[in-house]
Amino acid sequence: MAHLYFVAAGVTLEPGASVTLEDEEARHAATVARLGVGEKILLGDGVGHIAHAEVSSITRHTVVLILESVDTVSRPTPPLWLVQALAKGDRDERAVEACTELGVDRIIPWQSARSIVQWSGDKLEKGVARWQRIARQASKQSLRAWVPEISPVATLKDLCGYARTHQVIVLEPGAQLPLGHFVSARSQPVLVVVGPEGGISPEERAALVAAGASEYSLGPNVMRTSTAGVAALAVLNNSVGRW
pLDDT tens-place string over residues 170-184: 999 989 999 999 998
pLDDT of residue 163: 96
Confirm if 92 and 194 have CB atoms less than 8 A apart. no
pLDDT of residue 56: 95
Angle at 181 between CA 176 and CA 187, to 5 degrees: 120
pLDDT tens-place string over residues 110-131: 999 999 988 988 899 999 999 9
Q: Name the nearest CA neighbour of 80 among 166, 163, 155.
A: 166
- Please return the burial class of 216, using the count of CB atoms within 10 Å of its CB with bins 0-12, 13-18 and 19+: buried
pLDDT of residue 1: 54
| DSSP-assigned beta bridge partners for residue 215 | 170
Confirm if 151 and 107 have CB atoms less than 8 A apart. yes
pTM summary value: 0.92
Pairing outcome for strands 62-72 and 49-58: antiparallel
Q: What domains can you pick out in the chain, each with its CATH number?
A: 4-72 (2.40.240.20), 80-239 (3.40.1280.10)
